[in-house]
Chains A and B, each alone.
Chain A
Amino acid sequence: MTKYILKRIAYMILTLFIVATITFFLMKMMPGSPYTNEAKMTKTQLRIMNEQYGFNKPLWEQYVIYLAGLVHGDFGISFQYSNMPVSQLIGSRIGASAQLGLQAMIFGVFFGVIIGAIAAIKRNTWVDTTATVLSIIGKSVPNFVLAVLLQYYIALKLGWFPIAGWGTFSQTILPTIALGVGPLAETARFVRTSMVDTLTSDYIELATAKGLSLTQVIRKHALRNSMIPLVTLLGPYTVSLMTGSMVIENIFNIPGIGEQFVKSILTNDYPTIMGTTIVFSLGLVIVLLITDIVYSLIDPRIRLQGSDA
């Protein structure tokens, strides 16, 4: 187990290194200047600015300095907010994004499992059909469309929740729903299929032949077996939540890194773009590692490769 985790961490570092490298060189290829008012600057001013950001050094040296900085958690200085270190900028915003992402994940998985399981148990009835239709809609309606609709009809028209902003719990509800509906629909579809498979399996028949009631069969045998594979979806969910956060945070005016990321793209703030990219990748590789470890803990059949028997 330890050996496997060490191996995985080595892979994670390699992945992050590749991401950092790609990001760095892509940013260097970026057309246009990072300075918004370059035209007005004198040559001296430009030289001073270049020196300050280290742009006068050869490319490889800039690369080495950048990597060395990364190791110490230094992502450079943001262009957008002058003199604000990117790490500080991200640090001040990651909390909101993490909270929103976690809430959306819990919301989606929790209701997804319930809907999926009920659909499977009542399969081929109107309950199942309704659940299937809802999950197709949930899967198909883009989250930013849903966000705008929720914001207008639920917050503005009905006034049930605040329209935007961040701070109170009620402000988190609409963005959580908008962000969580995708994972919810996906979970419901997945759990239904997996549960139907389980319910028609031989071991469920044996459990029934033992004299267990339907509730007991589901509680003791079916639910666990059909939920275990759900763990593998945590990675894809994380990706979709990160993607979604960029637009949902924007619509609901939430001070998170997704909203910041879009802003820094639109303003060519590439130290921030690079920093955010690496933070997103780091988040994903950590989730993937946790997925593997959790999977091996809850499914006795899985033995992590390289671990001692």
Chain B
Amino acid sequence: MAEEAQAPQAKLTENAFEGLPKDEAQSAENIAGPSLSYMQNVWIRFKQKTSGVVSGIIVILMIVIAFGSTPFINKSTLVKSQPQYANLPAKIPGVNLNGLNGKIKQNGEWVDVYEKNNIPKDKYFIAGTDYLGRSLAQRIVYGTKISLIVALVAAFFDLTIGVIYGVISGWKGGAVDNVMQRIIEIVSSVPNLVIVILLLVVLKPGLKSIIIAIAISSWMTMARQVRAETLSLKNQEYVLAARSLGESSWKIAMKHLIPNLSSIIIIQTMYTIPSAIFFEAFLSFIGIGISAPETSLGVLLNEGQKNFQFLPYQMWYPAVVLCVLMIAFNLLGDGLRDAFDPKSAR
């Protein structure tokens, strides 16, 4: 044998060949660290990913600004047009950067529009104004609020109709499941935007109609996912055990199903939100969504697009806000997905 005893002559203490007392043996076995609960682990993993955290902060900031500004920016302030201030570019106090100091490029030269139009020196519009002289910043904040309301509504219907539909379909199984799935199948083989557009044509365009449209169309993916997950949970040993012990369906749903469904519910909600925001912007952009006197990011984009060649800022600002909002929700969704399901983060 080649593998002869060749370990270096070990230095042993005098009483090395005594039996090891029990407690000393135990102490040699060190404990790695306190064990963490599932949610603690999720939180730790979420915190590790910068993009998710930053997106979360952006979303919270946007919510605070959009809803906190309601006393100052609301329907009554939106309608005030000031033609004397029409189409002014951005002018931010203390900033001397072309494009943000009241100057705009006309025929290749930077022209101070504020000076040219004899606007009082102390008048500032931090994101410029639109063709009626309304502050674009105010309108963007209001539009963001509409987007966030739409997001909340979509999330609400996802969490109610979507989750309940999915749980019932998956849990009941059999004929009930069959019928419920056929319904989803038929509804989802109609491009839901078409149905929504029809609804908007029939109802008066506006936030209410968009909310109804979202209620009808947004929850189906959630219902499908929840059903699939419920179906697999139903056959897990611990749920089978609870059922065979005679626990009521309601109690099982509350104790076993909902906690285990929570991750896919949260993740799916985060993905429904950007598509709902897109949805509203899209409808408003083609002119059948939110309409005057209210405004939304889609409306602003539509208005801005008309003048894009000459006043690009009127489209750029709402476009950037809309994109940031969408990216933030998408990244937040990715961050939560990776936190709940570490396997997905490979």
Nearest chain A CB to B48 CB, angstrom units: 14
Inter-chain contact B309/A152, CB cutoff 8 Å: yes
Chain A residues with CB below 8 A from B326, complex form: 139-142
Rounded to whole angstroms, the CA-CA distance of A95 and B197 in the bound complex is 23
Interface check B62, CB cutoff 8 A = no
Beyond A18-B186, A137-B327, A268-B201, list 17 extra A-B contacts (CB 8 Å): A14-B186, A22-B198, A26-B199, A123-B346, A139-B274, A142-B278, A142-B285, A142-B323, A142-B326, A148-B308, A148-B315, A193-B344, A247-B282, A261-B197, A262-B286, A281-B191, A285-B189
Inter-chain contact B285/A15, CB cutoff 8 Å: no
Query: Chain A CB within 10 Å — which of B193, B194, B281, B326 has the most?
Result: B194
Inter-chain contact B305/A148, CB cutoff 8 Å: yes
Nearest chain A CB to B299 CB, angstrom units: 13
Nearest chain A CB to B276 CB, angstrom units: 13
Interface check B334, CB cutoff 8 A = yes
Chain B residues with CB below 8 A from A145, complex form: 301, 315, 319, 322-323
Chain A residues with CB below 8 A from B285, complex form: 142, 144, 247
Nearest chain B CB to A86 CB, angstrom units: 15
Nearest chain A CB to B295 CB, angstrom units: 17
Interface check A297, CB cutoff 8 A = no
Inter-chain contact A265/B288, CB cutoff 8 Å: yes
Rounded to whole angstroms, the CA-CA distance of A181 and B282 in the bound complex is 16
Q: Which of A51-59, A71-79, A215-223, A238-246 contacts B (4 or more CB under 8 A)?
A: A238-246
Inter-chain contact A15/B308, CB cutoff 8 Å: no
Give the residues from 141 to 168 in chain A that come closer than 8 angstroms, CB to CB, to chain B.
141-142, 144-145, 148-149, 152, 156
Given contacts A142-B281, A148-B315, A243-B193, contact A15 B186 (CB under 8 A): yes
Nearest chain A CB to B84 CB, angstrom units: 29
Q: Name the CB-closest residue of B to A189.
A: B334
Inter-chain contact A30/B201, CB cutoff 8 Å: yes
A-B pairs under 8 A by CB, number: 109
Inter-chain contact B322/A142, CB cutoff 8 Å: yes
- Classify the secondary structure of A's interface with B: helix
- Which residues of B are interface residues toward A (Cβ below 8 A)? 185-186, 189-195, 197-199, 201-202, 204, 274, 278, 281-282, 285-288, 301, 305, 308-309, 312, 315, 319, 322-323, 326-327, 330-331, 334, 344, 346
Chain A residues with CB below 8 A from B186, complex form: 11, 14-15, 18
B190 partner, pick from A19, A141, A149, beta carbons under 8 A: A19
B197 partner, pick from A19, A148, A265, beta carbons under 8 A: A265
Rounded to whole angstroms, the CA-CA distance of A14 and B185 in the bound complex is 11
Give the residues from 252 to 285 in chain A that come closer than 8 angstroms, CB to CB, to chain B.
261-262, 265-266, 268, 273, 277, 280-281, 284-285
Chain A residues with CB below 8 A from B204, complex form: 31
Nearest chain B CB to A236 CB, angstrom units: 9
Nearest chain A CB to B320 CB, angstrom units: 9
Nearest chain B CB to A247 CB, angstrom units: 6
Give the residues from 5 to 25 in chain A that come closer than 8 angstroms, CB to CB, to chain B.
11-12, 14-15, 18-19, 22-23
Nearest chain A CB to B63 CB, angstrom units: 18
Rounded to whole angstroms, the CA-CA distance of A251 and B282 in the bound complex is 13
Give the residues from 278 to 298 in chain A that come closer than 8 angstroms, CB to CB, to chain B.
280-281, 284-285, 288
Count, chain A residues at interface, CB 8 A: 49
Rounded to whole angstroms, the CA-CA distance of A266 and B344 in the bound complex is 45
A-B pairs with beta carbons under 8 Å apart, 23 shown:
A11-B186, A14-B186, A29-B202, A136-B327, A140-B274, A144-B282, A145-B319, A148-B305, A148-B308, A148-B315, A149-B319, A196-B346, A200-B346, A239-B191, A242-B191, A242-B194, A246-B286, A247-B285, A251-B305, A261-B197, A268-B201, A281-B194, A284-B191
Inter-chain contact A136/B330, CB cutoff 8 Å: yes
Chain B residues with CB below 8 A from A27, complex form: 198, 201-202
Inter-chain contact A26/B190, CB cutoff 8 Å: no
Chain B residues with CB below 8 A from A225, complex form: none
Inter-chain contact A15/B322, CB cutoff 8 Å: no
Interface check A62, CB cutoff 8 A = no
Interface check A171, CB cutoff 8 A = no
Chain A residues with CB below 8 A from B192, complex form: 239
Q: Name the CB-closest residue of A to B277.
A: A142
Inter-chain contact B330/A139, CB cutoff 8 Å: yes
Interface check A250, CB cutoff 8 A = yes
Given contacts A239-B193, A247-B286, A285-B189, contact A26 B198 (CB under 8 A): yes
Nearest chain B CB to A283 CB, angstrom units: 8
Q: Name the CB-closest residue of B to A196.
A: B346
Chain B residues with CB below 8 A from A29, complex form: 202
Chain B residues with CB below 8 A from A144, complex form: 282, 285, 301
Nearest chain A CB to B91 CB, angstrom units: 24
Q: Name the CB-closest residue of A to B316.
A: A149
Q: Name the CB-closest residue of A to B204.
A: A31
Inter-chain contact A243/B189, CB cutoff 8 Å: no
A265 partner, pick from B201, B278, B323, beta carbons under 8 A: B201
Rounded to whole angstroms, the CA-CA distance of A19 and B189 in the bound complex is 10
Query: Chain B CB within 10 Å — which of A22, A144, A247 has the most?
Result: A144
Chain A residues with CB below 8 A from B309, complex form: 152, 156
Nearest chain B CB to A53 CB, angstrom units: 18
By Cβ-Cβ distance, the 5 closest A-B pairs, closest first, are: A140-B326, A140-B327, A243-B193, A239-B191, A145-B319
Inter-chain contact B334/A136, CB cutoff 8 Å: yes
Query: Chain B CB within 10 Å — which of A22, A142, A193 has the most?
Result: A142
Rounded to whole angstroms, the CA-CA distance of A31 and B201 in the bound complex is 9
Inter-chain contact B330/A273, CB cutoff 8 Å: no
Chain A residues with CB below 8 A from B191, complex form: 238-239, 242-243, 280-281, 284
Rounded to whole angstroms, the CA-CA distance of A156 and B312 in the bound complex is 13
Inter-chain contact A136/B331, CB cutoff 8 Å: yes
Given contacts A140-B323, A196-B346, A266-B287, contact A273 B315 (CB under 8 A): no
